[in-house]
Amino acid sequence: MRHLLILNDPPYGTERSFNGLRMAHALAKHEPEGIVTVFLMADAVVCAKKGQKTPDGYYNMERMLRRVLSANGRVLLCGTCMDSRGLSDDEVIDGATRSTMNELAQATLAADKVLVF
């Protein structure tokens, strides 16, 4: 099954993106042959910024996204959202990819389920 998760909220301050990635991990765990795509838009693009430092015991969005990638998932970032926040391609984690609304539309059409956080 193909799952698309669209995240909109910043990495810290709310827990929506955190919960969206928890769901992505659970989906990958329960259906390892499935395909999980996480599309980051609006303030959620900052979730993919590399070099995040969080207090011990606190969740780290960079590590959570790496888990999605290590489970053969995809992490796509809205390029327009990146540009408006001054986030360049070399500032995001390896494996995360700049994307477009057209690619989001294609992923939406191809997905069996779409979840928005």
Mean pLDDT of the region 45-53 = 97
35 contacts: CB under 8 Å, gap ≥ 6? 1, 2, 3, 72, 73, 74
What pLDDT shows up at residue 82?
Answer: 98
Mean pLDDT over the full length of the chain = 97
Taking domain 2-116, whether its CATH number is 3.40.1260.10 is answered by yes
Mean pLDDT of the region 58-86 = 97
Mean pLDDT of the region 64-82 = 97
pLDDT > 70 in the chain, percent: 100
Q: Are 34 and 71 in contact (CB under 8 A)?
A: no
